[in-house]
């Protein structure tokens, strides 16, 4: 087995700095995108509610027209 290699302190510092910078960037990006996603979910829920209401009305009209034709 080969003995472990001594890693330069500069390389260690660079690696951990990049890791920390990535974590900070990710947190900022998440905080930026979170309200946008919440707004999109709210809009989608409202559209879904409207679509379901229209489907219900169409179904009721279809049932009503079927009843009148059969009678």
CA nearest neighbour of 34 among 42, 22, 46: 42
Gap between the Cα atoms of 15 and 40, Å rounded: 37
Length of the chain: 71
Q: What is the pTM of this model?
A: 0.61
User: For 18-61, what is each residue's pLDDT tens digit?
Assistant: 999 999 999 999 999 999 999 999 999 999 999 999 999 999 88
- Cα separation, 2 vs 52, in Å, equals 67
**23 burial level (CB within 10 Å; 0-12, 13-18, 19+):** exposed
- Of residues 3 and 37, the one with the higher pLDDT is 37
The mean pLDDT value for 2-17 works out to: 94
Average pLDDT over residues 62-69: 71
């Amino acid at each position: 087995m080969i003995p472990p290699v001594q890693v330069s302190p500069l390389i260690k510092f660079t690696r951990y700095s990049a890791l920390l910078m990535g974590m900070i960037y990710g947190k900022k990006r998440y905080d930026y995108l979170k309200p946008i996603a919440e707004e999109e979910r709210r809009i989608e829920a409202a559209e879904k509610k409207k679509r379901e209401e229209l489907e219900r009305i169409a179904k009721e009209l279809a049932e009503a027209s079927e009843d009148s034709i059969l009678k």
